Amino acid sequence: MLIFNNALINLTDIADLPERPTLKVISLVPSPTASTADTDIVSLSSEEGSSHVRQAQWPETFEVPNFPVDIEFRLRQGNLLYMRDQTYMQVPRDMKHEILEKLAECMYSFKAYPSDDDFNDVASSLVKKHPCLTEPGSSTGWNGWKNSLKFKMGNYRTKLRRAGCTDVLINVGKRGGQDPLRSVKRPKHFEINFLPNYPAGEDECSMESKRLQLVEEMKKCHPSSTLISQNMDSTFSLRRKEIVEIESPVKETLQRWPSLFTERQINAEFVRITSKNLKQDFFTALDQHTARFLKIFETKKGAVGKRLSEFLDQIKLKGTDITANRTAVLRGLPLLLGEETSDFFKATLASTILYIFLF
């Protein structure tokens, strides 16, 4: 079927085409994926290795990826039989290997060390999408898949370690009675980019050169410069290596990365590590509880209640100003908790505007 002048026509004879036609072929069948059954070592491609930086947190609902075409076809036939007469599929070894390998690859794109709940999520999602894979006799229908996934994920990390992936290489030797190379903990549950490899084509010397350029740019550019932000992105892996492996003191880190200690870059670095916007998430959570906090402030009595009433009087003058409400809550919380307010924020009067900077 072809499109000419935005109209669909069926081509039955090649001679009907103009002398020098231009055709665009759109495939309706996905291209087959190369089998990984005989692959012993994973090579680090630009997406999952040296230049890979994860972009998203573990999803609320895990979406099972598409498998190679032959596997998808066999699963489709198995699901049809299951819907017709509840026949469970007997999964061959090669087919199970392909399914587990693809799932492990997809899981690693979110985190290197999934939790037990994550494995539950993946196994249950697999059986939900392909009910023919349900395990008869299992209490959940997917316990066996969960156990297989755990073993496969361990094997997948081993392949990545052999390929030189620093994200998992740093934990080598923690099992099997060997002493670890360093007493470094695994990534925390919110850290999706714990120790990425250098970008493709980069090494420590080239990254250090970029860092020196960044220091010079910081001296002559505004901290919010787009050029500085781009360089901070490109040197992220070098900073993580220093922080995780070398554990540089804060004073030394400040000297080597002065732009990192600006308000904009602190939030940007948090996004790089966790894929979450620190300021946005904080204020979103604060807004959810602002109304409740203001009501609590109104009920307080005594000296604390008197000071809190001053904040409430200020926001009454500004109506429903969201910034004023946030400021009142942030200034009132230390008082409510019996803490010294100077330990939490500093107020500076510039002209007639009061700026509050959170530490």
Instruction: Name the residue ranges covered by the structural domains of the chain.
Output: 69-169, 204-274, 278-358
Bridge partners, 12 (sequence order): none
Q: pLDDT 10s digit of each residue in the chain, 359 long?
A: 444 554 555 555 656 666 655 555 544 444 434 333 333 334 333 333 334 578 788 888 899 999 999 999 999 999 999 999 888 999 999 999 999 999 999 999 988 888 899 999 999 999 999 999 999 888 899 999 999 999 999 999 999 988 888 888 877 765 555 555 555 556 666 778 888 888 888 888 988 888 888 888 888 766 667 778 888 888 998 998 888 888 888 888 888 998 888 878 888 888 888 888 888 888 888 889 888 988 888 888 888 888 888 888 877 766 677 888 888 888 888 888 877 766 666 665 543 333 333 33
Q: In angstroms, rounded to a whole number, what is the distance separating the alpha carbons of residues 103 and 81? A: 24
Q: Which two tokens stand for residue 35?
A: 């089998």
Q: Would you say 297 and 335 are in contact if contact means Cβ atoms under 8 Å apart?
A: no
Contacts of 55 (CB under 8 A, 6+ apart): 275
How far is CA 135 from each of CA 146, 149, 239, rounded to the nearest angstrom? 11, 14, 46
Give which of 345, 351, 58, 8 is closest to 189, Cα–Cα: 58
Q: Would you say 145 and 135 are in contact if contact means Cβ atoms under 8 Å apart?
A: yes
